[in-house]
Chains A and B, each alone.
Chain A
Amino acid sequence: MATLRKRGLRTAVICTEPFLKLAQAQAKTFGVPDLPIIMIPHPLGGISVEQVEGRAHVAWPQLEKLLTEMLK
């Protein structure tokens, strides 16, 4: 993800709360500290398809906002 961003592509990472600090630290380590992070409720594993859809609904507005900012 960091490599793609460095190449100029707009990228974002989808993350759950327990992994936020790791994601932020990794973004910094890989030289893209401003890498957008889309937060969804934990966990992502061990949930039903309906719950996965629920996570997508949480992610979507954040992605929409990112895309809108990108097109400004």
Chain B
Amino acid sequence: MSAIDKLLAEPGAGFEAEDDSEAAFEYCMQHGWSDGLPVVLPTTERVERMLAYCDRPWDQPVAMLAPRFGAATPLRLAANAVMAGCRPEYFPLVMLAIEAMAEEPFNLYGIQATTHPCAPLVIVNGPGAKELGMNSGHSALGAGNRANATIGRAVRLSLVNIGGAIPGLGDMSTYGDPTKFTYCAAENEAGNPWQPLHVERGFPPQATTVTVVAAEPPHNVNDHESYTAVGLLTTMAGTIASTGQNNTYYASEPVVLLSPEHAATIGGDGYSKQAVKDYLFAHARVPMHKFSKENIERRFRMKLAHRYGNADPDTLVSMVERAEDFIVVVIGGAGKHSAYIPTFGNTHAVTRALKHADGTLVESIESMRGT
């Protein structure tokens, strides 16, 4: 008996089903094991191929996923990765993203069960992104690239099937959003005039990392006219400055996604990444009187009394608590469109590096493949 057969011999670990695409989809839908789109049936052989890239014990949880606090074992995660359509070599990044989301600062319980529409945005950095053929260019956050699409989907299916984020039961999002299907891209490091995200966050350039952010969908920032850093940042600051986002009320980390062309203009004007954050902190502000009377009384005067208890109604309210709270990332291809991505608010982004079981950095994902 092989290792996987032994695990599947446990009661409830496996099930018998016809390996026919239509029948498999029907079967999974009947059991609530899908996001509503067709899934690949996680047969023993397919799951085993996925697990070839896992050097940890297949039945030992790498995380407990809220709100059900289901045990995310490699075996279960691999089944979800198969269902999502992952190639086996994508699996280490699926596991890594799950581990990152289980870290306390991310607040997975809040993110899963909230009425807010957030979903985990997975940003991949380092050589692994290129090795897997991930898209960091045109439409990187859109459809078309298998790694982007299925890594993000595997994460979401795991949150539903293991974590219990079932709409109306464990996922109380008022209206949901399309990023709850998948939300994953690589950073366009070649188009980034500054340090890539993972290096800024303390990892060596040769590390392959995932950064998970509990994010809303992107809000586009169109600027085809500005050709200076100040011009572009003025437009970005205007988009960021809005009432009704969680970021105003919590210590949070919203994302400023710059297209390579916008980033090149800003960097070319001598702005460092920190200078971008400082500018946005100073200028992305809304006068307090633009908020509703009730929000001023209840949020600013009471819950945020330490900052705004006695503040003048004309006080300019910042969208983040500190300049460094902005996460600046470069994603996309040609074009003059950037994006502002607000977040759940009560959450912090988590970055994790891909490592072998012995703790050394993974230099190539292919080197993880066992026999």
Q: List A residues at the B interface (Cβ < 8 Å).
A: 18-19, 21-22, 25-26, 29
Contact = CB atoms under 8 A, between A and B. Distances in A.
Contacts of A22: 67, 113, 169-170, 172
A19 B169 CA distance: 8
A25 B170 contact: yes
B227 interface: no
Contacts of A21: 168-169
B356 interface: no
A21 B69 CA distance: 16
A25 B169 contact: yes
A41 B69 CA distance: 28
A25 B113 CA distance: 12
List the 7 closest pairs (A to B, CB-CB), nearest first. Answer: A21-B169, A29-B69, A29-B68, A26-B67, A22-B172, A22-B113, A22-B169
A21 B168 CA distance: 8
Interface string B53-87: 00000000000000111000000000000000000
Nearest to A46: B294
Interface of B: 67-69, 113, 164, 168-170, 172
19 contacts: A18-B168, A18-B172, A19-B172, A21-B168, A21-B169, A22-B67, A22-B113, A22-B169, A22-B170, A22-B172, A25-B67, A25-B68, A25-B164, A25-B169, A25-B170, A26-B67, A29-B67, A29-B68, A29-B69
Nearest to A47: B294
A28 B82 CA distance: 30
Contacts of B164: 25
Given A18-B172, A22-B67, A25-B164, 5 more contacts: A19-B172, A22-B113, A22-B172, A25-B68, A25-B170
Nearest to A18: B172
A22 B114 CA distance: 11
Nearest to A26: B67
A19 B172 CA distance: 8
B197 to A, nearest CB: 34
A19 B168 CA distance: 8
Contacts of B68: 25, 29
Nearest to A30: B69
A4 to B, nearest CB: 17
Contacts of B67: 22, 25-26, 29
Contacts of A18: 168, 172
Contacts of A26: 67
